[in-house]
Amino acid sequence: MVSGLIQQVEVSDTRRLDGVGCFRHDLPMWCKLIEEHTSRAGFASPATERELHRVEESLGHLLPEELAELLGETNGVIDANGYNLVFSAEQLLQGNLEMRTYPALKRLYMSFDQLLFFSDAPGDGSLFAYALVPEGRPDIFVWDHRTDNRRCVAPSLEHFIQAWLTGRIQL
């Protein structure tokens, strides 16, 4: 589905994927949180307001505030193994459109219209998502492609990042 669009990068000195330095003392909040749990992460230039607006317009709903903030600091994050911890705005858009419209998926699974996928579990096929409900809900869910089960794994994006990077989320 959505993977491989951000290349694996070793980031021992916290460099952005675009080559611009991002030094530890001036890391934005989300980058600091990630750096607290891994010394190797790949950050990108921030997503622009235009990119975020395009995602929202194309998907027909607003992005959760904390996800928009993270993308506004770094347009996607790769983990120490080169996998997507958080999709870029473009990956998020394309992946969610694919999950919501691909005919074979519609025949196999319940609707994905109420989910906003933003990350995947490397090699597993499971995806992490927000549930899109009118009141907004910061909880993070994992969707299991084998069973179509959707279960809550974290109460927020911050908790998800901490738990995923420290191995506390079990699939």
Domains along the sequence of the chain with CATH? 24-165 (3.40.1580.10)
Q: Any idea which of 33-47, 48-62, 139-153 has the lowest mean pLDDT?
A: 33-47
Closest CA to 91 of 71, 111, 73: 71
Confirm if 171 and 126 have CB atoms less than 8 A apart: yes
CB-based contact 128:153 (threshold 8 Å): yes
Q: In this predicted structure, what is the pLDDT of residue 82?
A: 85
Cα–Cα dist 105/63, whole Å: 23
Mean pLDDT value across the chain: 85
Determine contact, residues 38/162, Cβ cutoff 8 Å.
no
Q: Give the separation between CA 46 and CA 80, rounded to whole angstroms.
A: 20
Judged against a pLDDT cut of 80, whether residue 167 lies above it is answered with yes
Q: How far apart are CA 40 and CA 63, in angstroms?
A: 27
Give the model's confidence band at 27: pLDDT under 50 very low, under 70 low, under 90 confident, else very high: low
Rounded Cα gap, residues 121 and 128, in angstroms: 8
Residues 85-118 have pLDDT tens digits of: 999 999 999 999 999 999 999 999 999 999 999 9
pLDDT value of position 26: 54
